[in-house]
Amino acid sequence: MSDYRTPLKDILFALEQAGLPTLATLPGLEHATPDMVEGVLAEAGRFMEEVVAPINRSGDEHGSRVEGDAVITAPGFKEAYDKYVEAGWGVLPFPEHLGGGDFPGLIGLAVQEMLQSASMAFSLGPLLTQGAIDALMEHGSEELQQTYLPNMVSGVWAGTMNLTEPHAGSDLGHISSKALPQDDGSFRISGQKIFITFGEHDLTENIIHLVLAKTPDSPPGTKGISMFVVPKFLLNADGSLGERNEVKVVSVEHKLGIHGSPTCVMSFGDEDGAIGYLVGEENHGMRYMFTMMNAARLSVGMQGLAISERAYQQALAYAHERKQGAEIGGTKGEMVPIVRHPDVRRMLITQRAYIQAMRHLMYENAMLMDTVRRSPDADVVAAAEARSDLLIPLSKAWSTDLGVENTSLAVQVHGGMGYVEETGVAQHWRDSRIAPIYEGTNGIQAMDLVGRKLGLHGGETVRQHIGWIGESASLAAEAGFDSMKAQIEEGLSKVTEATMFMVGSVGDPKSALAGATPYLRLFAQVTGGAYMARAAVAAKAKVEAGEDPEYHGEVIALSEFYIDQLMPQVFGLVPSITAGADQLFDIEL
């Protein structure tokens, strides 16, 4: 079983392509210079390698367990979390006045990649806390912020999101949790929530739950949802921990993967009702959720990339160690490492190429979000927000689908030993499988792309993106990459044809949604080709300048492989995109 090693060169190159040098020109980010960022990321990588990566296996083997009203996490999790908090890695992207590092979200995402590669299950605790912090920063009253955020930002307290109920999964309009108003302005919360990541654990002294519930006489459906802060422990007047609130864990799910992450069934208010405090206004809870959605979906997309990286590293190490068969054209009877065999190399390079394409996509997405938060230019903000919104379903769905594919390839590289749990690589495949499901299934992401994002600004956003793909082909041609130009132009024609069908299906939404998932795959894979072409152009300039020619030569070769061998695999999806819905409903199920 291989250790995790931070791919710092790949990360820094992708950050540069995403616009790292311009970050320090945004207001409040003057400290985020490339040299400063490189130093921070190098240290973060060392921490993840030495502290977090070693507990990934124990988390899978031992999982977490319920003891009374408590959940005991896997061996090593508590110690690693304490070191994580002490080192301050969780505070990086938050405002300085709350004790944060005031670093850009782009750098926070790069650190998040390292954390998730080191241990996806462990990373989910800080990830959920970050989501809860974002919600309170955006919508909580000043009193709620002052009461809860400093300890949540520091990591002394954790946060969760309580949305799903047994009868209401993605359709949150049917939640039945109740919130009854009290004379002192608080609410009494009652109901049960399921699939609550780190809903109960022993890592922090308090857990701040954000709970969706409905107040009396609220409108039906999602319009009647409100959001509440429900702390595990209530607070005394001086801010110290008081009595236990009526919040308890019922059970911990037994899952396919991410065993180290306690996925809890939570019960609120079995007797008098758990005490909760309204976030923002009544009946606005769903809108508040949507303000966090992009960041959360980007983080989940990063899980697809991160778990791919970890699995790829393990498969690569095994391919160098495992000897089997003679090399084609080599000495007869001489066994060689399997990395010398063409099909094994195909699987390994496929993983690596997809990883880098995903990295370019998600890092630009994060850079756009930083621009929205920091730029003083309203026109720049509007353009960045529109492009970011378009890319989010790609970042989430394409990357998590690829996470499953890449980890499966890593198992395949191991052959029969990949199917044996002791090897450890099967864990990565099992861990990856949840990511296409949560934070909006990938089918929902495809419907979002087709139903909402293609129509942004009257279709202008997608037209500009298609133009950007065409510009990528032109840049490739100018740099002498004629094959790249031809393949990207072919991909562009397929995307254009499919997009025209989708836009023309406004009056037949069933047909559009029937082709939404293959459409997203086509759209994302060709977009990935455009990123890889631009990476090749940048890498060629560095080779010509004598800047690490070996590494940047590999960037070019990897880009050529992606564009020549991986991108064209989706060109044949156009007939399934444009087939309509009739066949889906002609077959009796």
Instruction: In whole angstroms, give the CA distance from residue 430 to residue 495.
Output: 32
- For residues 229 and 146, the answer to whether their CB atoms sit within 8 Å is no
Looking at residue 493, its amino acid is S
Instruction: In whole angstroms, give the CA distance from residue 579 to residue 6.
Output: 44
| Beta-strand runs (E) in 216-356 | 226-231, 233-235, 241-244, 247-252, 263-268, 274-279, 323-326, 335-337
Q: Which residues are catalytic?
A: 439
Burial of 57 (0-12, 13-18, 19+ CB in 10 A): middle
Q: Which among 131, 289, 117, 118 has a CA at the least distance from the CA of 208?
A: 131
User: Distance between the two ends of the chain, CA-based, in angstroms?
Assistant: 44
pLDDT on residue 171: 74
- For residues 220 and 280, the answer to whether their CB atoms sit within 8 Å is no
Print pLDDT tens along the chain (589 aa).
568 999 999 999 999 999 999 988 999 999 999 999 999 999 999 999 999 999 999 999 999 999 999 999 999 999 999 999 999 999 999 999 999 999 999 999 999 999 999 999 999 999 999 999 999 999 999 999 999 999 999 999 999 999 999 987 677 778 999 999 999 999 999 999 999 999 999 999 999 999 999 999 999 999 999 999 999 999 999 999 999 999 999 999 999 999 999 999 999 999 999 999 999 999 999 999 887 788 899 999 999 999 999 999 999 999 999 999 988 888 887 899 999 999 999 999 999 999 999 999 999 999 999 999 999 999 999 999 999 999 999 999 999 999 999 999 999 999 999 999 999 999 999 999 999 999 999 999 999 999 999 999 999 999 999 999 999 999 999 999 999 999 999 999 999 999 999 999 988 999 999 999 999 999 999 999 999 999 999 999 999 999 999 999 999 999 999 999 999 999 999 999 999 999 999 999 9
Please report where in the chains the tokens 């019922």 appear, as a residue. 250
- For residues 562 and 529, the answer to whether their CB atoms sit within 8 Å is yes
Question: What tokens appear for 527 in the block?
Answer: 């977009």
Q: What is the 8-class DSSP label of residue 570?
A: G
- The dihedral of CA 392, 393, 399, 404: what is its sign? positive
Q: Which among 103, 208, 97, 189 has a CA at the least distance from the CA of 150?
A: 97
Question: What tokens appear for 284 in the block?
Answer: 């606005």
pLDDT on residue 6: 98
What is the DSSP annotation of 163-219?
Answer: --BTTBSS-GGG---EEEE-TTS-EEEEEEEEEEETSS-SSSSEEEEEEEEB-TTPP
Q: What backbone torsions phi and psi does residue 428 show, to the nearest 5 degrees?
A: -65, -40
Question: What tokens appear for 128 in the block?
Answer: 């959920």
- For residues 368 and 388, the answer to whether their CB atoms sit within 8 Å is yes
Q: What is the 8-class DSSP label of residue 395?
A: I
Instruction: In whole angstroms, give the CA distance from residue 268 to residue 271.
Output: 9
Alpha carbon 510 to chain centroid, angstroms: 28
pLDDT on residue 371: 96
Instruction: In whole angstroms, give the CA distance from residue 501 to residue 198.
Output: 43
pLDDT on residue 92: 93
Segment holding 157, helix H or strand E: strand 157-162
Burial of 554 (0-12, 13-18, 19+ CB in 10 A): middle
Pairing status of strand 226-231 against strand 274-279: antiparallel
Q: Could you tell me the CA-to-CA distances from 44 to 153, 183, 248, 538, 572 in Å, in that order?
A: 18, 48, 35, 26, 42
